[in-house]
Amino acid sequence: MKEIKEYIRDILNFPKEGIVFKDISPLLNHSDTFTRVIEMWKERYANRGIDTVVGVEARGFVFASAVAYAIGAGCVMIRKPGKLPYKTFTKTYDLEYGTDTIEVHQDAIDPGNKVLVIDDVLATGGTMEAVLELLMDNFNCELVEVTFLMELSFLGGRDKMKNLPVHSLVVY
């Protein structure tokens, strides 16, 4: 997907030394490419009976809401602690240096819903692994697929996707 890659810029040493951050700001600001990304997901998911699109904080929200609108589904946010105003289910998970926590509203997904999970990047897979566990442990739903704008395949995150189908628009 050369067209998409043209609008993802590398930022060296962000957020810390040795990291090459994939900045999607130019893609979001280029209306033709952003529209094409959403259309690609719409083509893939429009006829799959998806009821709910789950977006992961924070850049995943941008894609999840647009895809949900495009396919006629609801949209749910997975957030950091203290950001959701209603009762939540919580999942704490390990990072390389410490832990992190994510939350979702307890009434976010109806039983039997078909769910698509979207985020911007699949790197090591730790956050998405926690998202999937949060959903599987607390909702009687069908996880259809996990999709990403881009995948950093050399980091092996796909291996943590709980045997779910994984789709990435761009792979590095």
Model confidence over 38-61: pLDDT tens digits?
A: 999 999 999 999 999 999 999 999
| Per-residue pLDDT band at 84 (split at 50, 70, 90) | very high
Mean pLDDT, to the nearest integer, of 17-45? 97
Averaged confidence pLDDT in the chain: 96
pLDDT of residue 96: 73
For the chain, give every domain's residue range: 46-171
> Do residues 91 and 134 lie in contact, with contact meaning Cβ atoms separated by under 8 Å?
yes
The CB density around residue 81, as the number of other CB atoms within 10 Å, is 12
Please pick, among 96, 145, 151, 158, the residue that the annotation labels catalytic.
96
CATH 3.40.50.2020 fits 46-171, yes or no: yes
pTM: 0.96
Helix residue ranges per DSSP H, 15-145: 25-29, 31-45, 59-71, 126-138
Q: Which residue has the tokens 């999942």?
A: 91
Among this protein's residues, is 59 annotated catalytic?
A: yes
Among this protein's residues, is 44 annotated catalytic?
A: no
Q: For the stretch 19-34, what's the b/e string if a residue is b when 16 or more beta carbons lie within 10 angstroms of its beta carbon?
A: eeebebeebbebeebb
Q: In what order do the strands lie in the sheet with 142-151?
A: 74-78, 52-56, 114-122, 142-151, 166-171
Please pick, among 36, 57, 59, 133, the residue that the annotation labels catalytic.
59
pLDDT of residue 97: 77
Helix (H) or strand (E) holding 116: strand 114-122
- Report the C-alpha gap between 105 and 110 in whole angstroms: 11
